[in-house]
C-alpha cells in the first residue's frame, strides 16, 4: 500500500531535484548573459527563453515529443546510439526542466540587472578577471533573487503535468510523478489515493513558499540596507 504513495513521491522528488539543478545553472548562465546583452535580438531571445511559461503545457509537451520522438531530430540521433528518451524517467526530467527554466531565468536576470555595474567595474579595476568578478561580486549580490528563482523553479517542476504526460506518459514506478498519479487515481475512482498525494504535494509546496518568503525578505533587506 505504501508503494502506491512512495513511488510517485520518489519519482517526483528525483525528477524535481534533477530539473532544479539543471535549471539553476542554465538559468544563471542565460540570465547573466542577457542582463548585459544589449543587441537588437534581445527582445526576441528573451521571448524564446520565456516561451515555455506562456504556452500551454500540452503544447510544450507536443513540441518536446516532436523533438525527442523517434521521428524527431534529437530522437533520431539518440536511436543511432541505441537510446531513447520518450516514455522514460529522463523524459520527466526534460519536461520539468523546460517548463521550470523560465522562472529561474527571469528571477536571476532581474537580480543580475539590479547589481550595480560600478561595483563590478571596481573589482575589475583591482585586477579581478570576469570569472572572479562573477563569483565574488555579482553572484553574492544577486543571490537572494537567484535563490528565489530556484525555489519557484522547484515548485513549478513539482507541479508539472501536461508536458510530462505528453513526453513521458504514465508508467507506474517509472514516469508516474505525483501530478500524473493524482490524475489517473481520479480517473480510476481512487479518491483516497488522490487525496493523500494532494496532501503530500501541499506539504512540499508550503515548504517551498516558506523558503521563497525567506529569500524575498533577504532581497528586501539587501535593497533597503
Residue ranges and CATH numbers for the domains of the chain are: 2-224 (1.10.3720.10)
Residue 155 near residue 121 (C-beta atoms within 8 A): no
Average confidence (pLDDT) over 62-67? 94
pTM of the model as a whole? 0.89
Query: pLDDT at position 40, please?
Result: 87
Query: pLDDT at position 224, please?
Result: 39
Task: Label residue 220 by pLDDT band (50, 70, 90).
Answer: very low
Query: pLDDT at position 225, please?
Result: 36
d(CA 26, CA 101): 8
Strands (E), 83-127: none
Average confidence (pLDDT) over 3-15? 88
Average confidence (pLDDT) over 216-225? 50
- For residue 170, pLDDT beyond 90: yes
Average confidence (pLDDT) over 129-154? 90
Average confidence (pLDDT) over 134-163? 91
Residue-wise burial string across 131-152, b where 16 or more C-beta atoms lie within 10 A, e elsewhere? eebbeebbbebbbbbbbbbbbb
Average confidence (pLDDT) over 159-186? 93
For the chain, give the mean pLDDT. Answer: 89
Q: How many CB atoms lie within 10 A of CB 67?
A: 15
Query: pLDDT at position 181, please?
Result: 93
Q: Which three cell numbers stand for residue 77?
A: 540521433
Amino acid at each position: 500500500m505504501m508503494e502506491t504513495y512512495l513511488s510517485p513521491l520518489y519519482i517526483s522528488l528525483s525528477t524535481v531535484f534533477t530539473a532544479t539543478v539543471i535549471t539553476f545553472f542554465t538559468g544563471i548562465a542565460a540570465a547573466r548573459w542577457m542582463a548585459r546583452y544589449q543587441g537588437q535580438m534581445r527582445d526576441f531571445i528573451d521571448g524564446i527563453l520565456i516561451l515555455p511559461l506562456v504556452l500551454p503545457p500540452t503544447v510544450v509537451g507536443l513540441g518536446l515529443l516532436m523533438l525527442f520522438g523517434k521521428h524527431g531530430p534529437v530522437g533520431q540521433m539518440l536511436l543511432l546510439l541505441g537510446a531513447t528518451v520518450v516514455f522514460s524517467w529522463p523524459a520527466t526530467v526534460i519536461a520539468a526542466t523546460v517548463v521550470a527554466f523560465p522562472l529561474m531565468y527571469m528571477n536571476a536576470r532581474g537580480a543580475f540587472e539590479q547589481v550595480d555595474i560600478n561595483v563590478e567595474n571596481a573589482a575589475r579595476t583591482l585586477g579581478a578577471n570576469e570569472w572572479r568578478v562573477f563569483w565574488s561580486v555579482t553572484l553574492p549580490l544577486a543571490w537572494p533573487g537567484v535563490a528565489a528563482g530556484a525555489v519557484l523553479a522547484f515548485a513549478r517542476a513539482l507541479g508539472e503535468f501536461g508536458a510530462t504526460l505528453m513526453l513521458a506518459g504514465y508508467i507506474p514506478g517509472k514516469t508516474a510523478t505525483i501530478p500524473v498519479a493524482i490524475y489517473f487515481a481520479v480517473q480510476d475512482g481512487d479518491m483516497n489515493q488522490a487525496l493523500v498525494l494532494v496532501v503530500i504535494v501541499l506539504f512540499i509546496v508550503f515548504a517551498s513558499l516558506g523558503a521563497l518568503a525567506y529569500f524575498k525578505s533577504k532581497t528586501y533587506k539587501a535593497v533597503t540596507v
